[in-house]
Amino acid sequence: MAIAQQNDIDLKGRDFISLHDFSAAEIYHMLDVAENLKLKQKSGKAHPLLQGKTLGMIFTKSSTRTRVSFEVAMYQLGGHSLFLSERDIQLGRGETIPDTARVLSRYLDGIMIRTYSHQDVLELAEFADIPIINGLTDLLHPCQVLADLLTIKEKKGNLNGLKLVYVGDGNNMAHSLMFGGAKMGMHVVIASPQGYQPDPQVLHLAELDAHENGGQIELCSDPQTAVSGADVIYTDVWASMGQEAEQAQRIKDFQGFQVNQAMINLAQKDVIVMHCLPAHREEEISTEVLEGPHSVVFDEAENRLHAQKAILALVM
Ligand code: CP
Ligand code: NVA
């Protein structure tokens, strides 16, 4: 059972490593497929698009949403998934990425990997001859952002022209939101303290993407100014996985960057508040806002499942 192709878009065999690698039309197609698969699942219609296929899932970092949603996604698509912890496979004992890539390509139909170094994911993709899906690196988190775009589209009806303000660390989430937002013609503002701005190379590429697609990327160091008129406010933890030792210093450096009610009051009346989760309540976001009427964080988490089913069905 193949997925219907629209507009000659065929993503079979493609890696999903960065949203920068895809055109706006390809991303819209992924969102259409995600919406379609979500409808099918909600109405109880079987959609076994990946019968007989196996996804390997390599993790060298913790995960709740990514691990569970990918595993359930493969199950609902009629395929199978294997959880491969670095602790248990030879990669953790020094077997090289090129050897791992070539061996796993003989058994699997796709690999999802969550790890530290983005370079490692690129190397895996270079040596594997099956699609590689980036389940988060220190640089990017594209699966999260595809789910976020799906959520924004559902809540707002469109993406083009919306103002999305990310308040916090210029990290993997900020980077992928810049790429995803730019491709969709959004106005993306990243408000971070000095020293925590996004990677300049990512900024440069995202600005090119924005220019091409009618979007805009802006950096700002004053979160109050940034959120003025926002349609979407997004935040993430101040210390990401691997930065635990910097936690105390970061709490000091990010004072004034908490997404709270005072900040929401400066945005559009119908602003939605997003967070990839896990959240540190009363640090980057107040409990009042996380649990309040503007928050869409659990719909956002659910959409990881639907967005990833689209990625899997399209590339595998
Ligand atoms: N948002 C996200 O990727 O969550 P996990 O770390 O739980 O996978
Ligand atoms: N920036 C966070 C995202 C977690 C989903 C991290 O990398 O830990």
Ligand 2 pocket check for 301: Cβ under 6 Å = no
Whether 163 is covered by a domain: the verdict is yes
Active site residue 276: yes
Closest CA to 78 of 54, 57, 111: 54
Q: Are residues 259 and 247 in the same domain?
A: yes
Provide the CATH number for the domain around residue 262.
3.40.50.1370
Active site residue 114: yes
| Ligand number, closest to the Cα atom of 57 | 1
Q: Are residues 135 and 154 in the same domain?
A: no
Question: Which amino acid is it at 179?
Answer: F
Active site residue 87: no
Whether 1 is covered by a domain: the verdict is no
Q: How many CB atoms lie within 10 A of CB 257?
A: 22
Angle ∠(249,284,17) on CA atoms, nearest 5:
95
Place of tokens 């706006």: 24
Tokens of 38: 């979500």
Ligand 1 pocket check for 112: Cβ under 6 Å = no
Tokens of 42: 């909600």
pTM recorded for the entire structure:
0.97
Distances (CA, A) of 302 to 14, 66, 75, 297: 24, 11, 16, 9
What's the order of all strands across the beta sheet hosting 54-59? 80-85, 54-59, 110-114, 132-134
Report how many domains make up the chain.
2
| Ligand number, closest to the Cα atom of 235 | 2
Tokens of 272: 């939605």
Rounded Cα–Cα distance for residues 73 and 204 (Å):
34
Three-class SS of residue 270?
coil
Nearest CA to ligand 1 atom 4: 65
State the residue range of the domain holding 90: 6-140+303-315
pLDDT in tens, the chain (316 residues): 456 555 789 999 999 999 999 999 999 999 999 999 999 999 999 999 999 999 999 999 999 999 999 999 999 999 999 999 999 999 999 999 999 999 999 999 999 999 999 999 999 999 999 999 999 999 999 999 999 999 999 999 999 999 999 999 999 999 999 999 999 999 999 999 999 999 999 999 999 999 999 999 999 999 999 999 999 999 999 999 999 999 999 999 999 999 999 999 999 999 999 999 999 999 999 999 999 999 999 999 999 999 999 999 999 9
Catalytic member of 276, 294, 306, 308:
276
Active site residue 141: yes
Whether 258 is covered by a domain: the verdict is yes
